Amino acid sequence: MLSALDLVRRVEAGELTPRAVVDICAEAIAACEPQIGAFATLGLDAARRAAEDPRLTATPLRGLPVGIKDIFDTADLPTQYGSRLYAGHRPRADAAAVAMVRRVGGLILGKTVTTEFAALTPAGTRNPRDPAHTPGGSSSGSAAAVAAAMLPIAFGSQTGGSVIRSAAFCGIAGFKPSYQLIPTVGMKAFSWHLDTVGLFAAGVADIAFAAAAITDRDLRVDRGAPAAPRLAFVRTHLWPQASTAMQAAVEAAARAAEKAGAAVSELTLPPILEEAYRLHRTIQDYEAFRALAYEYDHHRDALGPSLREQLDRAAAISAAEYDAARSVAKRARAALGDWMSGHDAILTPSAPGAAPHGLASTGDPAFNRLWTLMGTPCVNVPVLSESELPFGLQIVGRFGRDRTALEAALFLETAIKPK
């Protein structure tokens, strides 16, 4: 994979130019893209031209190529939201996140494949770890492009579990920051209380570097070893849904973290968290029925059957049910904040198991929904092996303490590395 930090250091050392980095990506794209199908649109020529700008070497991202999930508006590349309704659509402006990437010297290499409106229907992208398996979704293209070394950094978004689950299935680092740390302005909305902009990169230090540059926050974790975290190992009520191998991977990671010096406590969440988990869909679908109201009301037949049925059902959710769900979520966020006061992060699975076989589903976001609803920072730490598909360990931090979450994730990533 392409480590963003490694590439940046080589650009800083004069070993590589931004143009050479684009060419490295272009070569990988030429080799892998026909099999993987990670891109909705490529913008290689424009990126090559932009890479010649001598000012790039003074920018935080140093001209690193970035992939943008095709639900973010781009003024210079088509933006199709994974929907045939938007075939050839060219927005008038860049999304805020896209403009922020350009400001810090990122080069937009292309738009990556998203499921239709970032919902659940698979879009054909294959998992670079094994093309017979799903790469996850809805940020399928971004996760696959990073896993296949076609890009060092890519943007995704998470409403259920799209960033963390896709990163887990593809064996890369995924970061869903605290709710609204990166603005959703100019991103096609599905559920405004849940939609969260996230990132993919090869490893935890890479993703922290990218997040630091884009948000202008002190999030880098590559300058010295991270402190040993106080980890709450939380199985949650979903634990029986995790595969035996997944359970074993998380338990082994907890032991490895403890051995490396972390304080690890096995704990149970307050009951209101499970109640909130069950209400995630009420909030998501009530809002989707309004966020996609125009498409549903005027072009229902042009929606895929899965999304159409999801919105058909969503029409029946009452304002009272939605308000009650939001109220539970608010109390759950407060309870979680109190509960986590003695811990730096939670350790829990990123997904029920490795990437499922086949492309008929993007996999189950069950292990992610609660944390999206809580708005807490989440990091996928990949467990890679030669013989198996990757497993994902999920680090969940406290709201607004993204740096602590990233440090805990880096600590875990280091602790589980084969010595």
Asked if residue 281 lies in contact with residue 317, where contact means CB atoms within 8 angstroms, the answer is: no
| 341 burial type by CB count under 10 A (0-12 exposed, 13-18 middle, 19+ buried) | exposed
Smallest separation, CB 155 to its own copies (Å): 15
Smallest separation, CB 297 to its own copies (Å): 6
Smallest separation, CB 344 to its own copies (Å): 19
Query: Which residues, including other chains, have CB under 8 Å from residue 16's CB and lie 6 or more apart?
Result: 7, 10, 24
Task: Produce one character per residue of 32-62: b if its CB has 16 or more CB atoms within 10 Å, e if not.
Answer: bbeebbbbbebbbeebbebbeeeebeebbbb
On the question of a cis peptide bond just before residue 318, with omega within 30 degrees of 0, the verdict is no
Please state, in angstroms and as integers, the Cα–Cα distance from residue 279 to each residue in 29, 123, 170, 322, 369, following that order: 40, 27, 28, 9, 10
Nearer to its own copies, 265 or 318 (CB): 318
The residues pairing with 65 across neighbouring beta strands, listed in sequence order, are: 107
Please state, in angstroms and as integers, the Cα–Cα distance from residue 414 to each residue in 4, 26, 230, 262, 274, following that order: 17, 30, 15, 12, 31
Which two tokens mark 225? Answer: 């070893």
The residues pairing with 264 across neighbouring beta strands, listed in sequence order, are: 231
Distance CA 363, CA 322 (A): 26
The three-state secondary structure class of 31 is helix
Instruction: State the catalytic residue, choosing from 83, 139, 157, 162.
Output: 162
The three-state secondary structure class of 400 is coil
Residue with tokens 């209380």: 193
Smallest separation, CB 251 to its own copies (Å): 37
Nearer to its own copies, 132 or 192 (CB): 192
Smallest separation, CB 217 to its own copies (Å): 6
Smallest separation, CB 153 to its own copies (Å): 18
Nearer to its own copies, 30 or 293 (CB): 293
Nearer to its own copies, 263 or 335 (CB): 335
The three-state secondary structure class of 24 is helix
Angle, helices 402-415 vs 244-259, to 10°: value is 100
Instruction: State the catalytic residue, choosing from 138, 140, 142, 191.
Output: 138
Distance CA 27, CA 245 (A): 35
Nearer to its own copies, 170 or 276 (CB): 276
Smallest separation, CB 320 to its own copies (Å): 9
Binding residues for its own copies, per CB under 8 A? 75, 85-86, 89, 92-94, 96, 98-100, 102-103, 180, 183-186, 189, 192-193, 215-217, 287, 290-291, 293-295, 297-298, 318-319, 323
162 catalytic per annotation: yes
Nearer to its own copies, 217 or 255 (CB): 217
Distance CA 101, CA 107 (A): 8
Nearer to its own copies, 11 or 212 (CB): 212
138 catalytic per annotation: yes
Residues annotated as catalytic (active site), given as ranges: 69, 138, 162
